[in-house]
Amino acid sequence: MSETQSVEFGWFIPTNGDGRYIGTALEREPSQEYFVQVAQAAEKAGYEFTLIPAGGDCWDGWIVGSWVAAHTTRLKPLIAMRPGLISPVLAARMASTLDQMSGGRALINVVTGHYPADLKATGDPLHGSHDERYERTKEFLDVVKGVWGEDGSGKGFDYEGKHYQVEGGVSKPAPVQDPHPPLYFGGSSVAGKKVAAESADVYLMWGEPLEWIKEQIAEMEQHLKDLKETKGISRTLRYGIRAQVVVRETEEEAWKAAWNILSKVEPDQLKSQEKLHAKTDATNQKRQMDLYEQSKDQDYIIGPNLWSGLSAVRGGGAVAFVGTPDQVSDRLIEFVDAGVSSFILSGYPHLEEAEITGELLMPVVKRKLAERSISITV
């Protein structure tokens, strides 16, 4: 990375509850007071932003994100826009309003898919059509960016697509950030990657072995090259990963803490969760389960200080960095060298792990990046 580049770190707000274990009853029910505790701990630890989840068992991300922004000074909420569940013009207005009210701290996570049951439960008519959902997402983002960039002539933004038709669309107030709040985008399928190449600012991946991440980045760079050659559109992307983290002063303590997260899971429940994750049509979730299956005979270790043991119980970015501050910081920097500049981390429970990583990990990462003339944005 060049001297002008920087790395950003984000944390996570557990809006469906929290605790030391997964796959068992919650120890801490979700509440606005707890969200603020986690957010303020993350801000103090040196994290720049915080991901607000969008699952069906989570509190509404826009309201939680607004609450978090109101109770912190620097922390940026990363909130999901879900094409198909909200109109693009309304979504643009909500995002630009939050950007104004937070002083330019809004970040947007574009979420196209989820489990089929969740998509059905939210009334998405395209719950069974994977590639068409990404086609719709591309139109959605065309409209969102269009109304954000409306020229002020009073005519508004017009759009005629397969999924959206807009006449005179406007977004008031305008966003604070120029040209607009950054768009984070995940999707490992070919359809998803093509839309990300054309529309996103940050392409998000779930934690995987370093070589897998390098391959995904290379694929995205090829999509960017194809975009320039076929449409004359020249763009660049930043790359990010979503992962868990377990850091302790010794490696033995770290692995003990990692396995403890699973210590309350019943064998029958483990099997049922494996079946649930197998039903998804999300390519990135399938990749997570492939890693889990391939590493069963290695105690789910998929690389140095990289563990997939949580993947069968929780969906999403379940792969974890596990080790000492020196070990985990070295692994993170290997990903930085591969082209990753955005990390969204979390751990169980989220309050204490934000404090632990703030004390043990972040100072070491910051020092090692500074030695390479790379800064952490805060």
Q: Is the pLDDT of residue 269 over 90?
A: no
Environment class of 322 (CB within 10 Å of its CB; exposed 0-12, middle 13-18, buried 19+): buried
pLDDT band at 51 (very low <50, low <70, confident <90, very high): very high
Cα separation, 16 vs 61, in Å, equals: 11
**Mean pLDDT lowest among 53-62, 145-154, 226-235:** 145-154
SS3 content of the chain, % helix, strand, coil (to 5): 45, 20, 35
Minimum mean pLDDT range among 75-79, 183-187, 225-229, 312-316: 312-316
pLDDT at 69 over 90: yes
Q: What percent of the chain has pLDDT over 90?
A: 78
Q: What is the pTM of this model?
A: 0.93
C-alpha 315/C-alpha 273 separation (Å) is 9
More confident residue, 188 or 173: 173
Host H or E run for residue 367: helix 362-370
* Rounded Cα–Cα distance for residues 159 and 330 (Å): 47
Average pLDDT over residues 11-16: 98
Task: Read off the pLDDT band of 3 (50, 70, 90).
Answer: very low
pLDDT band per the 50, 70, 90 thresholds, residue 122: confident
What pLDDT is recorded for position 1?
Answer: 45
| Per-residue pLDDT, 279 | 55
pLDDT score at 295: 74
Calculate what percentage of the chain has a pLDDT beyond 70.
92
- Range in 237-251, 271-285, 318-332, 336-350 the model is least confident about: 271-285
Selected residue with higher pLDDT from 349 and 127: 349
Residue 2 is predicted with a pLDDT of 44
Decide which of 283 and 147 is more confident.
Answer: 147
Q: Which residue has the higher pLDDT, 161 or 114?
A: 161
pLDDT at residue 378 above 70?
no
Crossing angle between the packed helical segments 350-360 and 32-45, to the nearest 10 degrees: 10
Choose among 243, 227, 375: nearest CA to 319.
243
